[in-house]
A = this chain, B = another copy of it.
Amino acid sequence: MPLALLSALAEPTRLGAIQILADGQEHCVCQLMTRLDASQSRMSRHMQTLKQAGLVVDRRDAQWVRYRMNPDLPGPACAILEAVLEAAETEQRKAA
């Protein structure tokens, strides 16, 4: 399990998406692509990857597809995720 999770997170756009979704809210693809400055197909594909890795879940809502963190993420995976998010945040702070 860790291998799939790690490869899914080891890409800038995908990690960025996870950071955004880490607020616990739902976000549609168009929001993500705007905030991450990614093209539509690119963002869509990355979200597929995250979905396959079990990190996120999607839901159709009218014309939009809303992504959110997978609430049933198993414990070990959750621990990795938290550590990664914490590290990313720390890194951004030091950039000041």
Contacts and interface: CB of A to CB of B under 8 A. Distances in A.
Contacts of A80: 80, 83-84, 87
Interface range, A side: 20 to 34
Contacts of A5: 87
Contact of A77 (B6, B10, B11, B87): B87
Contacts of A84: 2, 6, 80
Given A3-B15, A6-B6, A80-B87, 20 more contacts: A1-B90, A2-B9, A2-B15, A3-B10, A3-B12, A5-B87, A6-B9, A6-B10, A6-B15, A6-B84, A9-B10, A10-B10, A76-B87, A76-B91, A79-B83, A79-B86, A79-B87, A80-B80, A80-B83, A83-B83
